[in-house]
A and B are shown apart, each in its own frame.
Chain A
């Protein structure tokens, strides 16, 4: 058992008692600033199955310094440091004592040369490892980010803006001996100029990232990803008669990625153009063309952008795509809009030429219904593929309704689509989603409930579906009692990245199976909170999530249980907090038993307006 008692704590606690209410803006030469914040102290006793029991008395605080130098338009700043912030002494609701700082500064605001700077750093803070549609898993670690932006907006001269961001994070996942990290950097430059009625723009971006993915969901060995990318392009827009415009753009991008020594690199050139006119108030016409000289590269790039890589993908093989589209829309009634389109797509991919002609039409309609608002849209598309000779009919529809019926506020939406084109003409998506919410209030009593579900899959491709369902309910009686409950269920395919599992951004058959993780699970939660008297909060929450993840290398059954009980009372500027927290998290794929951490805590914090 370890007792950590910090002398500095008593010093600060003494300050807490002795500090009187002082509030005024302070000037240091040309700088003026004001500051406020909390000083807090708390006791925490924690114990777990993988760590020894400890108890400690910590002192922490959080402050906010805001001010300016010379003039707020010249330089303004905001700095917010925090020290040892946890559920025992703050609203962080974190089981770790987090410390760090967030800072922003603006220079020359409102001038033609405004700039901004931001910086944040966090130590021992709580984080999340995501699973689509389910509760996140709990992590803890360190992170930092820095960003700089500057722009120039001189009249009659090209505008210019530049931004630079970089950051990194290192974390470990509770319940495993595993760790992950992320690092990124990016630089982007933009410029715009209007000459002879032509609005022109140009840009350059470059960036890169590095991720270390926890092996528990990615594989038996630590998965490391490096990626770099850059892009530059030019676009121009010119107005046409009949409230029209014509625009064109050319873009070149390149990527380079490394996945456990397997590298992938390439460049993509994309040219696009669009012309649109409005001959009458009710009619608009447009035509567009889009050409890419590296379709394979586009697929890889979207995966890289999501945080993954496609190792060994043969990007040197010639591939390209051309997309021509013509669209006419007509508005016969204020609440009815119709459209018709024709699209021709040709693609060369993996040595095979594909082509598809699509034509169709749609309508969007809005009207009142049962004292509510109803709108719907329907689009029909006929596809004719010249390679496979397969003709398909696609359609999509959405419906939304909101109303008040017998005192109930009701909203609902529904969407369904079949045979929707994806980036590759050889794959088409089908999906549906629906959601509904009701709420009602009787004097102090209020109730609400909601449900939603979605499913998306490649048409006629078994095993490519992602689906989710969620339900929630809330019952409350004034401030006396609020009860909440939720249930969600999800399954599908995901890509393992440094930030967690993310939905696969391309048709999943494109990706090697070693990169695709299957997941499925459910989670539910309950919560109760009450304010029986003013400034007293009693709250309890329980959440449980269970999921299965499976990749080529490892299958894991994962669980996450969290329980929190909190009692908080505010007396003037003092906040008394006490509670109990329990976290149980485990991954069978990690080969270790689930980690259980429980803690009791109480603490007090005092808000000050320092100056």
Chain B
């Protein structure tokens, strides 16, 4: 079935003829894409600061704000990766602020996790993030070479991969995924071109892959995502997403290098919607491309820019259980939230 995309002046162009994905023409602050079968994707909102979580302020709060000034709200500085937990809270790593922002729009609460100035196990460059079934928070630190584990409240629990002398076991840990049922943690070490499988105490049980471009080999793997029985790995400089089963056996890959629509140039993150379609965000082009399991492009959205639905160096992507598509728009210092409304049907065919 051919994909029919009818958005606001949105027309997909032939794949091979387009040097770069063209941005869907969109009303700057409110747009919606109508997809085939009645599916649609709409831009909901964006946020970049603690202040947007806070409830409406009362008279006294406003008075104090006038007299003493607004508090110094935390803002996104250089956000990178994103995840949500079972409570609907949105967790964003921010290497620029050396911390993790937790936005709770339901409870109107905000928390900033930071761990600096410690003699041991200071959090230097929080990179990617994942949560387990208890909503404990796992953060890779690409500079410290370790994984920090925090309680849902943000209280520090322990560090995985910390060696004697303060050095980290990993050379550059980036992507992380937690399989609570199997009690396994998956970590990509970008400089080692490997994915490590750890137990919950941080003991290395197995590694996946080696340097190379063959199936099951990596060239700077960056981000991980669990998808049912599978593990997805963003194999950045092989310009693809590789899919393994949870024992590390290669299953399939999507993506290819190129400068046309459907190809990947700087894939940064991957996520899966409720219909099993695979979303890959590309930092250099500023787009999110949506593929089916066969690697066929279904559609894409975004372009370079600063308006709603436009990105500058997007780096993180996460789709929650409600099919909210959260995109970390890093250089614009914000997170953009899209709502996908699907049909909960089996995967679709892609554009030919």
Contact = CB atoms under 8 A, between A and B. Distances in A.
Interface of A: 16-21, 443, 571-574, 606-608
A605 to B, nearest CB: 12
Interface string B43-82: 0000000000000000000000111111110000000000
B59 to A, nearest CB: 14
Contacts of B69: 21, 572-574, 606-608
A18 B66 contact: yes
B100 to A, nearest CB: 20
Most chain-A CB neighbours within 10 Å: which of B65, B66, B69? B69
A20 B72 contact: no
19 contacts: A16-B67, A18-B66, A19-B66, A20-B66, A21-B65, A21-B66, A21-B69, A443-B119, A571-B68, A572-B69, A572-B70, A572-B71, A573-B68, A573-B70, A574-B67, A574-B69, A606-B67, A606-B68, A607-B69
B66 A572 contact: no
A226 B308 CA distance: 69
Interface size class of B (residues with CB under 8 A): under 10
A437 B18 CA distance: 65
Contacts of A20: 66
A574 B66 CA distance: 11
A17 B70 contact: no
A17 B68 contact: no
Given A443-B119, A572-B72, A17 B65 contact: no
For the complex of A and B, 6 pairs with smallest distance between CB atoms: A573-B69, A572-B68, A572-B69, A574-B68, A443-B119, A20-B66
Given A17-B66, A21-B69, 9 more contacts: A16-B67, A18-B66, A19-B66, A21-B65, A571-B68, A573-B69, A573-B70, A574-B68, A606-B69
Contacts of A19: 66
Nearest to B120: A443
A22 to B, nearest CB: 11
Interface in B288-334: none
A115 B219 CA distance: 53
B306 to A, nearest CB: 18
A572 B68 CA distance: 6
A21 B72 CA distance: 13
A303 B164 CA distance: 62
A572 to B, nearest CB: 4
A607 B65 CA distance: 12
A533 to B, nearest CB: 16
A606 B65 CA distance: 12
Interface string B180-216: 0000000000000000000000000000000000000
Contacts of B72: 572
Nearest to B118: A443
Nearest to B70: A21
Contacts of A606: 67-69
Contacts of B119: 443
A443 B119 CA distance: 6
A479 to B, nearest CB: 10
A594 B195 CA distance: 76
Nearest to A442: B119
A575 to B, nearest CB: 10
A385 B105 CA distance: 88
B112 to A, nearest CB: 14
A16 B69 CA distance: 10
A606 to B, nearest CB: 7
Contacts of A608: 69
Contacts of B67: 16-17, 574, 606
A333 B119 CA distance: 40
A18 B66 CA distance: 7
B283 to A, nearest CB: 31
A606 B70 CA distance: 12
Nearest to B64: A572
Contacts of B68: 571-574, 606
Contacts of A571: 68
A607 B69 CA distance: 8
Interface string B84-120: 0000000000000000000000000000000000010
A393 B315 CA distance: 70
Contacts of A21: 65-66, 69-70
Nearest to A19: B66
